Amino acid sequence: MKVTKEFLEQLKGECGASNCAWIQVKDIVLDPGLRKNCELNYCGEYGRTWVCPPHCGPIEECIQKVGQYEQAVIIQTISPLEDSYDFEGMEEAAVNFGKVLLNAVKVIRETAGDQDMLVLSAGGCHRCPTCAVKDNAPCRHPEEAFPSLESHGIFVSDLAAKAGLNYINGQNTVTYFGAVFM
């Protein structure tokens, strides 16, 4: 699938993203050391969902998976917050981002057809109130549960810069990123 500026604008409008961009995978720095942040459980999600480490696979396999693709469409949402302590607003923005990313994946799949894709999201999965991993049961929604960019060795701030997007978008905002690799 050839990604054009027109397609990115169409995608932005149809999925409700703040911005959409395109990047060649060869320009993305993949750092296995980033997985240490997951293992130290900085976000509190380590081992809690099927899409987070260690369940998403060894970092070497994750990096290899990303490297199999040529290009990625980057999806960004920017949401307002009441203040920098508005954790409820951040959670609402994360839920909204999940919906935007699902819409983007749907539009891209309709356009790209059967092309193989890898979808990476922001943070851990929050699709279900309690992940099936706790019961050692399979994921209930595997088509809607995506590993994080960081779990695959991608520094989001670097990805944003290389895609021409701002990582920080002003006071009292929260920004989320996802990527569809093709």
Question: In this predicted model, what pLDDT tens digit does every residue of 106-149 receive, in sequence order?
Answer: 999 999 998 999 999 998 888 898 999 999 999 999 999 999 99
Provide the β-strand partners of residue 21.
Answer: 74
Q: What does the pLDDT read at residue 126?
A: 81
Three-class secondary structure of residue 59 per DSSP: helix
* Torsion sign across C-alpha atoms 61, 111, 166, 94: negative
Provide the CB-side half-sphere exposure for 5 (13 A, CA): 0
**Model confidence at 43, in pLDDT bands (50, 70, 90)?**
confident
Which of 65-74, 99-108, 120-129 has the weakest average pLDDT? 120-129
Provide the β-strand partners of residue 73.
Answer: 22, 180
> Can you list the alpha helix ranges (DSSP code H) found in the chain?
5-15, 35-39, 59-67, 87-112, 156-162
Q: What does the pLDDT read at residue 29?
A: 94
pLDDT at position 37 over 90: yes
Say how far apart CA 69 and CA 129 lie, in whole Å.
Answer: 32
**Model confidence at 172, in pLDDT bands (50, 70, 90)?**
very high
- For residue 108, what are the domain limits? 5-181
Q: What does the pLDDT read at residue 123?
A: 86
Say how far apart CA 180 and CA 72 lie, in whole Å.
Answer: 5
Q: Is the peptide bond before 142 cis (omega within 30 degrees of 0)?
A: no
Averaged confidence pLDDT in the chain: 96
Say how far apart CA 41 and CA 53 lie, in whole Å.
Answer: 10
What domain count does the chain have?
Answer: 1
